[in-house]
Amino acid sequence: MKTKKTIKVAEKNYFLHISIYAWNLSPVIVSDCMSGKMEDIPSISTSCLLNTHCQQYRKIEGSICQKCFAHATINRYSGLSKNLESNYYLLTTSVLDEDLLPKFNEELAPIVRFESFGDIENETQVINYVNICRKNPNIIFALWTKNPHIVSKAFDKVGKPENLILIQSSIMINDIVKAYNEYIDKVFTVYDKKGQKGININCGARHCFTCRRCYTVKDAVEYISEALK
């Protein structure tokens, strides 16, 4: 939903938006019409087409990034592309004031995902996500990233919110990575048919909202395996 009210951030004008899951207007666009296994879960994302790390990973032979669904989806839908581009520049160029961050409706949005279509670009983006978590202390957020080194540097400076689950994604298909450090709650790896032999594929839910494996903290690092689609 666009309004006539705009703000200026990092030399750009942004419309203020409201999501069906949020109480307030914010320039941060919430994807609230997710489909498939992400149905019923709002998401705050940026564009993998603009992320410098995503572009580098797509060049690696055998990487999951070479089969990126987000890349194809963004190219297919211009409206989605514009929204993710807006979020990218907004979230990576300046730390937003608290009143500009979305305030979620706890009944409609008990869990929220960061980065369904992109990844972390820099520490500024992480700090904005940290501040969103702290503005919504009763909501569980999960962040998927292949750049835990960037996230960790930001956490060292501003701390890690208790309601944020950090999931490190393996770059390579069939090749599980070791948790980067103590900030990591889960490691997520995708396996093709050949690589699934002997692997417990424990991410098979068609509806993440009811499964919530990725949104539940365990005592130790949990390793999640998904079959390549």
Q: Which residue has the higher pLDDT, 38 or 11?
A: 38
- Give the dihedral of Cα atoms 195, 41, 215, 140; nearest 10 deg: 150
Of 1-15, 118-132, 134-148, 200-214, the one with minimum mean pLDDT is 1-15
Q: Which tens digits make up the pLDDT trace of 67-88?
A: 888 888 998 989 999 999 999 9
Structure confidence at residue 36 (pLDDT): 87
Q: How far is residue 33's CA from residue 12's CA, in Å, rounded to a whole number?
A: 26
Q: How far is residue 123's CA from residue 7's CA, in Å, rounded to a whole number?
A: 23
Structure confidence at residue 126 (pLDDT): 98
Structure confidence at residue 72 (pLDDT): 85
Structure confidence at residue 1 (pLDDT): 41
Whole-number mean pLDDT of the chain? 92
Phi, psi of 168 (to 5 degrees): -85, 120
Q: Is 40 left (phi over 0), alpha (psi -120 to 50) or beta?
A: left
Structure confidence at residue 4 (pLDDT): 42
Residue 10 has pLDDT above 80, yes or no: no
Structure confidence at residue 204 (pLDDT): 75
Structure confidence at residue 2 (pLDDT): 44
Q: How do beta strands 12-17 and 2-9 pair? A: antiparallel
Tell which residue, 50, 56, 134, 58, has the closest CA to residue 92: 50
Task: Give the gyration radius of the chain's Cα atoms.
Answer: 17
Q: Evaluate if pTM is beyond 0.85.
A: yes
